[in-house]
Structure 1
Amino acid sequence: MRCWSRRSAPSTRSASTSRTAHAALVLGLKGEKGSFSGYEVAPTIRFAWTPTPRTTAWAAVSRAVRTPVRIDEDLVIRLNGINFFEANDDFQTETALAYELGVRHRPVSALTFDLSTFAYRYDHLRSAEPAGAAPVPLTFKNGLDARSYGAELTLMYQPLPRLSFKGSYRFLDLDFSKDPGSRDTSNGSSEGNDAKHVAILGAHVNLPRNFELDAFLRHASALPKPALPGYTTMDARVGWRTSKGFEISLWGRNLLDRQFPEFLTTNSLNEQVHRRGALKLTWRP
């Protein structure tokens, strides 16, 4: 999805109250004035509850906006005397309403897990549609809506002082729909091109004589549109720290395959991610 703005502005107001030592409520309101949209507000309400020192649960409801920019209202693409694209000076602000719920728990001192869930509603998303009866010129309209929900689980485990693991899994379901009468030609093909499943496992080891080793295994499922197969890859790093603030590290990336496709858009070539390495020298005085 495109970036959504909740930037602070002079009109920002927030308040925090704590009824007990284990609960906190935060109310926030962020406002901004855009050159093409006027005033927009992004309120949020967040609540956190800590029933025990090892457990924290939280919930949040927030609104975010993507305000129009110059390309949305002023862009014109003209080739051989024909306008293939004309911007729309009536383009509206795109909005998102986010519902989030999560919990962090540490059952033992060596293990911590975070579970967060979310449901987002996107309205008035940018669509590319014919401006009139003819196929061209195209123009921007607010003819798309979307709904997404998902969850992310993160585990952190340190069985030994010199050894630690971190793993995460993310599930995402994203669905686009057209407004009645919309003739959108993309149907969110670029905005909705996300892997439904992503899993990462990392390990860090502090070795003797100031050496350290890191390894990261990553898997992403297939992309829907344009269709692209899933992949599994691994990165690794070996580092050595000297007593004078120097650090020498050797990196290897995408070690499991010589090359593989990671991402593809409808208007780009199928570029490959290649196996590569790097030697890095860092000095911290």
Structure 2
Amino acid sequence: RWQRPLTAASDMSLQLYYDRAQRAEDFVGQQHDTLDLEFQHRSQVGVRHRLVWGLGYRQVATRVDLSPIISADSDRFRLESWNAFAQDEISLWDERLRLTLGLKVEDNDFSGLEYQPAVRTLWKFSEHASVWGAVSRAVRAPSIMERHSALRAATLAPGTASPPIPLPVVLEAGGNPRFDSEYLVAYEAGLRSRPFERLALDVAVYYNDYDDLRTVDGDSFRIAPDGSHAIVSTAFNNNAEGDAYGAEIGADWLVRDGWRLIGAYSYIDLRLRSANNRVNVGSGTVERNAPERQLSLRSQHTLAEDVAVDLWLRYVDDSASAALNQRVIETIDAYWDLDLRLAWLPRPDVELELVAQNLLDGARFEGDMEALTTTQVEVQRAVYAALRLRF
């Protein structure tokens, strides 16, 4: 990363990085080589405007080791994307009101030209309180799997498919070259307040409007040539839409010097529906992928200058887990859990810590892989020690 000032009120930066990531699993191996280049220019224009603009380029070369479970049009892919963005942060009304306007434009190999505008505003109506609001648009471009690969997602035992048949049923999901981007328009608003010197509150509400969401549909049924099993083939499409309402509440209370309590609560109500009345997305499975309610309470306590004790109590509502085909569904029970951390600093640059996780539950199921039906693995209780050296 290279950064330098241009004038007293402006500077620029140029960043280049390369990354190689390899992943080997029983059913597929992947290697991703990523090259990313980004330029940014920042400047203060007059008293009111703080401008940021930039350009970016990314290239990702992917190699896939195929298997009987996963197939693709090719075992090598190279994807390129270009982007440009600009943002203007405007200070108004003696800096008590801030308006931020932004736009990002991206051109990628799969979905072409995409744009993502955003508008944010913040009003500081008192010395200790402010309200804010935002409207933004986000885009998720297709992946290689959704466009050019196919996978054998699951095999159902005889009599367990719907409708039941006396043969094993192999579920296949195939890529679709016409699969397009998913779109989101998000509306957000919130209040930040410090009613007392040691207490900070944060409340936010949001509404998300989703379009062209991914579905796995278009079932075709056939019997294998040898008659040993049946095959149900589906494809990725953009046949769903939906919306989500939610709220988040946070509090940070400095009980006394050396002891802090941090609490958080979140709620989400997600509703999905068919965009063309041909796809059944109303079973509630996808909506329940995210827990409806979550609660968290952290205690950070410094007992002495060199000893600290942290506790993290949390509650997660029940949810559901389903593979892409939505035929293999698992219920994930609600749970409470507690983590504990003990830390000792014999010197300012040395820290020893002992961490215990999931103290209230020895093991629990938290979800399956999205694409494949695999052996379930539970999250286990864990205890570990760590040594941290600071230089």
Whole-angstrom distance in 2 between the partners of 1:250 and 1:235: 11
Residue 180 of structure 1 and its aligned partner are, at CA, apart by: 2.2
Residue 69 of structure 1 and its aligned partner are, at CA, apart by: 2.3
Residue 262, structure 1, aligned to residue 366, structure 2: yes
Question: What code does the residue aligned with 1:172 have?
Answer: I
Comparing 259-268 and 51-60, the one that deviates more: 259-268
Whole-angstrom distance in 2 between the partners of 1:119 and 1:220: 21
Other-structure match for 2:90:
17
- Which of 104, 114, 136 in structure 1 is aligned with 2:192? 104
Residue 193 of structure 1 and its aligned partner are, at CA, apart by: 0.4
> Contact (CA 8 Å) 1:127, 1:186: kept in 2 or not?
no
Comparing 128-137 and 68-77, the one that deviates more: 128-137
Residue 11 of structure 1 and its aligned partner are, at CA, apart by: 2.1
Any idea what the Cα deviations from partners look like across 1:225-264, whole Å, max 9, x if unmatched? 5322100000010101122511000000000121122334
Stretches of structure 2 lacking an aligned partner (at least 5 in a row): 1-53, 57-82, 154-169, 223-230, 322-329
> Contact (CA 8 Å) 2:188, 2:207: kept in 1 or not?
yes
Cα gap change, 1:147 to 1:8, in 2 (>3 Å):
farther
Residue 76 of structure 1 and its aligned partner are, at CA, apart by: 3.2
Cα gap change, 1:121 to 1:244, in 2 (>3 Å):
closer
Comparing 124-133 and 158-167, the one that deviates more: 124-133
Whole-angstrom distance in 2 between the partners of 1:213 and 1:244: 17
Residue 131 of structure 1 and its aligned partner are, at CA, apart by: 5.9
- Which of 89, 96, 104 in structure 2 is aligned with 1:30? 104
- Which of 113, 122, 125 in structure 2 is aligned with 1:48? 122
- Which of 331, 342, 354 in structure 2 is aligned with 1:250? 354
- Which of 203, 207, 210 in structure 2 is aligned with 1:115? 203
Stretches of structure 1 lacking an aligned partner (at least 5 in a row): 1-6
Any idea what the Cα deviations from partners look like across 1:208-238, whole Å, max 9, x if unmatched? 2510000000101111453221000000101
> Contact (CA 8 Å) 1:17, 1:26: kept in 2 or not?
yes
Whole-angstrom distance in 2 between the partners of 1:114 and 1:84: 46
Residue 108 of structure 1 and its aligned partner are, at CA, apart by: 0.5
> Contact (CA 8 Å) 2:297, 2:313: kept in 1 or not?
yes
Q: TM-score, normalised by structure 1?
A: 0.89
Whole-angstrom distance in 2 between the partners of 1:11 and 1:221: 40
Whole-angstrom distance in 2 between the partners of 1:22 and 1:59: 14
Question: What code does the residue aligned with 1:275 have?
Answer: R
Cα gap change, 1:84 to 1:200, in 2 (>3 Å):
closer
Residue 278 of structure 1 and its aligned partner are, at CA, apart by: 0.6
Residue 187 of structure 1 and its aligned partner are, at CA, apart by: 6.2
Other-structure match for 2:345:
241
How large is the RMSD of aligned CA atoms in angstroms? 2.5
Q: TM-score, normalised by structure 2?
A: 0.66
Other-structure match for 1:4:
none
Whole-angstrom distance in 1 between the partners of 2:172 and 2:367: 27
Which protein shows a greater Rg? 2
Other-structure match for 2:37:
none
Whole-angstrom distance in 1 between the partners of 2:151 and 2:357: 40
> Contact (CA 8 Å) 1:91, 1:141: kept in 2 or not?
yes
Question: What code does the residue aligned with 1:179 have?
Answer: A
Question: What code does the residue aligned with 1:128 have?
Answer: V
Cα gap change, 1:85 to 1:16, in 2 (>3 Å):
same
Residue 124 of structure 1 and its aligned partner are, at CA, apart by: 0.4
> Percent of aligned pairs with the same residue?
27
> Contact (CA 8 Å) 1:235, 1:252: kept in 2 or not?
yes
Residue 87 of structure 1 and its aligned partner are, at CA, apart by: 1.8
Residue 91 of structure 1 and its aligned partner are, at CA, apart by: 1.2
Other-structure match for 1:200:
296
Residue 186 of structure 1 and its aligned partner are, at CA, apart by: 9.2
